[in-house]
Structure 1
Amino acid sequence: MEFEKMKVEIWSDIMCPFCYIGKRKFDKALEQFSHRDKVEVIWKSFDLAPNLKTHTFISSVDFLQKHKGMSKAQAEQAIEGVTAFAKETDLDYDYDKVVVANTHRGHQLIHLAGQEGLQNEMKERLLKAYFIEGRNVDDVATLIQLGQEVGLEKAAIESELNESQFAAHIEQDILEARKIGVSGVPFFVFDRKYAVSGAQPEKQFLNVLGKAYIEWYAKQETPQFEVLEGQNCDVSGNCN
C-alpha cells in the first residue's frame, strides 16, 4: 500500500552555525531511520538578519563586536566554542574565511531548487560555502556557480535572482514560523505535531522521527505540540 510521505519541515538560516550542525545531526539520524524513504524534508527560510548589509571586508570577530555588542574576547570565545561543536559532527568551520553576507538571495536559490527536487543539496552546498569555504553567498556569480553545481540551470538561477519570484515564499515561511512560535533556529517540525529546537543529538532526532512516524502512519491525532530545546540562534542573532 502506497502512502504520502511524512513531512519534516526545517526552519533555518544559512548564516546560523547551529543550523549546519543541526542539519548534519538530523541527516545522520535520518540515514539510520528504517522508514526514511517515507520522509519528505522541506527546508523553510528564516532570516536572522534581514537588514544586514554584506561585509566582505570585516572579520567574524569584528562583526560580532560591532553588531552583537560582544567584546573581542567574547567574540573569539563564541567562535572557538561553535567551531569545536561543529568539529564533533565532522564539520570544519573556518571563521577566518567566513564572509559576513545577507542570505536572502541564498534562500531564493533554496526555494528554486525545491522545484527541481534539489532543495536539500542546495541547502548543504550553501552552508558549506559559507562556513567552510568562505564564499560570499550574496554574490550573484557565486550563487550561479553553486546552483549549477547541484544541477540547476544557469538561466533559471539568473531569472530568479533578477526577478525574485520566490520572495513571497520566503516571507510566507517567516510568517509561518511566527505563527507556530519559532524564535530561534534550527527548528524542526515533524508532521506538524512534534518539534525539535536546536542542534540536538542524533538519538533525539531518531526518537522523534520514530514517534511521529508511528502516529502519522496510523493517522492518529496528537493534541500536544512538544518542543525539545537545544542550542540555536535566536531572532536577535544570539547563538548559544
Structure 2
Amino acid sequence: MKVEIWSDIMCPFCYIGKRKFENALQQFAGRETVEVQWRSFELDPNMQTVPGQSIHELLAARKGVSVEQGKQMNDHMAVIAAEVGLHYDFDRMIPTNTFLAHRFLHLAAAHGLQDAAEERVFAAYFVEGKNVGDLNTLAQLGAELGLDAMEVTRLLETEAYAQQVRLDEYEAQQVGARGVPFFVFNNKYAVSGAQPSELFLEVLQKVQSEEQPVVVAGAEGAACDVDGAC
C-alpha cells in the first residue's frame, strides 16, 4: 500500500497530522506493507523572511487581528499539538520561505532518509526555533541524519531538487489538494487535514481489504497445487 502525504514545514496541522497518522499506523496490522512518501507543498511560495518578525505578528497581519489575538490563536494551536505529544514553541519560531527546506527533504529522500528528515525539520521549526530556511541550519540537520554537511551545502547552493519540489506541487493540483496535510491512499482515497487516528486506521483497513483477492464461494474448480498434483 502506498500513502502519499503532501505537507508544508510551516503548517502546524501537518506535524500534528503526521503524529495522528503514525498513531494509526502503529495500530494497523499490515503496517510493514505501507510505503509512505512525503510530497512538497508550499502554502505561501512568496513568503519572505522578515528579520525580527515573530510568528504571532505574521499571523496577526494575515488574519487582520491584533498581535495579542494572533498569540492567542497560536496558544490554542499549541494545546492541540500537545494532545498528540508535540510541544510547539511559537515564541521561538522563525517564519521563513520553505522552498529550500523542501529541496533538502528531497535530497534526504535520495539517501533513504525522507521520513527521518521530515520529522527532524518539523521538530527544528516547531519545537527548537531553528530557521529552516537557512542553508547552514539545513546542513547541520543533514549532518545529524548522517548526511555529509558539505554535500548538503554544495547541492542546495545549486538548483538541485527544485524540479522535484515543483513536480510535487503540480501533482497536488492534479489530485485536488488545496490545503495540507493531504493524504492519498493507493492513488484512490484522499483524506484532507489532520484527521483523528481512528479515521486514518479505518482508511488503512479499507484499502488493505480491497487489496486482498476476492474468493468466490462454491465448489472447488479443477486446478493444480504447489506440489505439482493436478
Fold shared by both chains (TM-score > 0.5): yes
Contact 1:93 1:132 in 2 (8 A): yes
Q: Residue 97 of structure 2 aligns with which residue? A: 102
Quick one: which amino acid aligns to residue 138 of structure 2?
L
Task: Kindly state the Cα deviation for residue 158 of structure 1 after the two structures are TM-superposed.
Answer: 1.6
Q: Structure 1-normalised TM-score?
A: 0.85
In 2, Cα distance between equivalents of 1:38 and 1:173: 23
In 1, Cα distance between equivalents of 2:28 and 2:138: 32
Q: Which moved more, 1:192-201 or 1:150-159?
A: 150-159
Task: Kindly state the Cα deviation for residue 69 of structure 1 after the two structures are TM-superposed.
Answer: 2.4
Quick one: which amino acid aligns to residue 169 of structure 1?
Q
Q: Which entry has the higher C-alpha Rg, 1 or 2?
A: 2
1:193-220 superposed Cα distances (whole Å, 9 cap, x missing partner)? 111111111111111111112223449x
In 2, Cα distance between equivalents of 1:188 and 1:218: 25
Runs of 5+ consecutive residues of structure 2 not aligned to the other structure: 215-230
Contact 1:12 1:186 in 2 (8 A): yes
Contact 2:139 2:150 in 1 (8 A): no
Q: How do 1:83-98 and structure 2 match up within 5 A? A: 83-98=78-93
1:162-215 superposed Cα distances (whole Å, 9 cap, x missing partner)? 112110111111111111111110001000111111111111111111111222
1:25-55 superposed Cα distances (whole Å, 9 cap, x missing partner)? 1111112211111111000000011111113
Contact 1:50 1:102 in 2 (8 A): yes
1:58 equivalent to 2:53? Answer: yes
Task: Go from structure 1 to structure 2 and tell me whether the alpha carbon gap of 1:54 and 1:218 turns closer, same or farther (over 3 Å shift).
Answer: farther
Given the alignment, which residue of 159, 179, 182 partners 1:164?
Answer: 159
Contact 1:13 1:46 in 2 (8 A): yes
1:122-159 superposed Cα distances (whole Å, 9 cap, x missing partner)? 00000000000000001111100101111222233123
Quick one: which amino acid aligns to residue 50 of structure 2?
H
Q: Residue 124 of structure 1 aligns with which residue? A: 119
RMSD: 1.4
In 2, Cα distance between equivalents of 1:171 and 1:218: 37
Q: Residue 215 of structure 1 aligns with which residue? A: 210
1:185 equivalent to 2:180? Answer: yes
Runs of 5+ consecutive residues of structure 1 not aligned to the other structure: 1-5, 220-240
Q: Structure 2-normalised TM-score?
A: 0.89
Identity of aligned residues (%): 49
1:6-41 superposed Cα distances (whole Å, 9 cap, x missing partner)? 110000000000000000111111122111111110
Task: Go from structure 1 to structure 2 and tell me whether the alpha carbon gap of 1:78 and 1:167 turns closer, same or farther (over 3 Å shift).
Answer: same
In 2, Cα distance between equivalents of 1:58 and 1:46: 23
Contact 1:191 1:216 in 2 (8 A): no
Quick one: which amino acid aligns to residue 59 of structure 1?
S
In 2, Cα distance between equivalents of 1:216 and 1:70: 49
Where 2:157 maps in the other structure, the secondary structure is helix
Matched residues, number: 214
In 2, Cα distance between equivalents of 1:100 and 1:108: 17
